Amino acid sequence: MSHRKIIEGYYCDINNLSDMLGKLTNSYRLLIGGASELNTVALAHKKDVKAAIDRVNKLGNTIDEIINALNKSSGCYTNYCRIRSELIKGKIKMEYMENEIDEELYLNEIDEDLDEDDDKKDR
């Protein structure tokens, strides 16, 4: 397996953790809201409110674990991106980038001129 594929898989894992964190955080908010509403209901038993708070705490612990995993793993991915950027910067010469930008600007000007000519023909 190439190094690139390993890093792509690594990025996919980080992305999945990030998505999971967002979904669990939304669930956490809903659970807190539900526990709060349950607490205001006069007929609610104290044990039901405590059970709801326990569920919130368990989910909060899971969220903390995901945050810790993201903190540890995202640092490695950030280092990979930084090293890759430095390597690319060292390989690409400035004049090639300038030529590429000039060519793109030139092609954009040609497209604009063609659009203006088409507009004149339509009139």
Q: If DSSP codes are grouped into helix, strand and coil, which group holds residue 76?
A: helix
Share of the chain above pLDDT 70, in %: 90
pLDDT over 70 at 100, yes or no: yes
Domain spans, the chain: 3-91, 93-123
Cα 120 to Cα 46: distance, rounded to the nearest angstrom: 78
Average pLDDT over residues 94-118: 76
**pLDDT tens-digit map of 30-75:** 999 999 998 888 788 889 889 999 999 999 999 999 999 998 888 7
d(CA 16, CA 9): 10
Whole-number Cα distances in Å, 120 to 74, 87, 101, 106, 111: 54, 49, 29, 21, 14
- Alpha carbon of 56 to those of 33, 49, 64: distances in Å? 10, 11, 12
